[in-house]
Structure 1
């Protein structure tokens, strides 16, 4: 009888562990320096800020930063298979394209890269969110408009959530931008987390 009760308790405990693990949601951020935390420590990034918040408020969500400074859509596409294999995410937030735009890459190529990233993720049952990205106005109004519209069209075509560009308001505050005029400061990271949190929570649920 004791052995039976012991085996029953162990079985129930195992079920609880399995349910707990299966209930966890993994959200991967595939981005560039804006998410990787250029000039900052990893603990200062907006991704780390959300991770700290969610440890208590949403312990079932595990957010992983797979961002690299200088990353392009081509680089993200090349890395994607390994990222998906390693982390097996339930959701993917794509924050790429800024470096493509700053380098004047062909928009058709950028569009193709983004679509392939989304396709690969969706084929594995991963829910995708795409960040809107903008280029500085000095790149010309026509190119800036085409660049912005590209993200809208890709999101619509692939039926994924388009998340507004988190740097749009940050960039207008000198205290929130580093001396290079591009990258957000440590002080800006909680603001970015505030902005993105509701979108990423919805993506992960």
Structure 2
């Protein structure tokens, strides 16, 4: 009888440990993470959930809070409710590209990124920053300032940064949709491969 009771207590304990280790990963991004131009299940965020299910069965939940066309300003307005609703353990920020393409002042983008990181950290979430680059439409100085924003924010708030999320994807016509702006279905496993080591480490 005592042995049976011990086994039951051990099982309850193991279940509690498993629940305590379970993590919620929230991706806050733009069209690149919102699976623009394809079915949601084809996008890299959905592939992330599948990968986690394989490696950590039933332990981690991925919330895709990405919106096509999203800017850092728009995400900042949405973030408090997202944090309150989902209570993520990890927040993956993939933003800034639309700001840059619209020529928003780099300082404004930097300030928004800082607040996105701050608010996420204040909610006790770890943050992963996926950096972006933009074409030199507004000149080399603007492009460099835009890119440097991610390094500054990463250093100041001590968050891991992937310098360029579209590395080896952007500019490759076989991996881009016809608009040459959005990655296609074939590119999604590559995007996951880029992001996964940073997310896994945060877990």
> TM-score, structure 2 length as denominator?
0.91
2:152: which partner in 1? Answer: 153
1:33 aligned counterpart, secondary structure: coil
1:139 and 1:168 map into 2 onto residues whose CA distance is: 21
- 1:156-177 superposed Cα distances (whole Å, 9 cap, x missing partner): 1111111122213101210111
Alignment of 1:114-129 (within 5 A): 114-129=113-128
Would the aligned equivalents of 2:29 and 2:94 in 1 still touch at CA under 8 Å?
Answer: yes
Alignment of 1:179-198 (within 5 A): 179-198=178-197
Between 1:27-36 and 1:80-89, the stretch displaced more is: 80-89
1:156 aligned counterpart, secondary structure: helix
Note the 1:1-205 alignment, pairs <5 A: 12-59=10-57, 60-204=59-203
**Structure 2, unpaired ranges of 5+:** none
Q: Secondary structure at the match of 1:34?
A: coil
CA distance in 2 between counterparts of 1:50 and 1:108 reads 32
Q: Shift of residue 16 of structure 1?
A: 3.3
User: In 2, distance between residues paired with 1:41 and 1:31?
Assistant: 16
CA distance in 1, matches of 2:136, 2:56: 38
CA distance in 2, matches of 1:182, 1:193: 18
Structure 1 residue 15, shift from structure 2 partner: 3.4
In the TM superposition, what is the alpha-carbon distance from 1:13 to its structure 2 partner?
A: 4.4
Count of aligned residue pairs for this structure pair:
202
Which TM-score applies when normalising by structure 1? 0.90
Alpha-carbon separation, structure 1, partners of 2:39 and 2:94: 19
**Greater fraction helix:** 1
Gaps of 5+ in 1: none
Deviations 1:77-124 (A, max 9, x none): 111111111211111110011111111112222111111111111112
Q: Distance in 2 between matches of 1:198 and 1:72?
A: 25
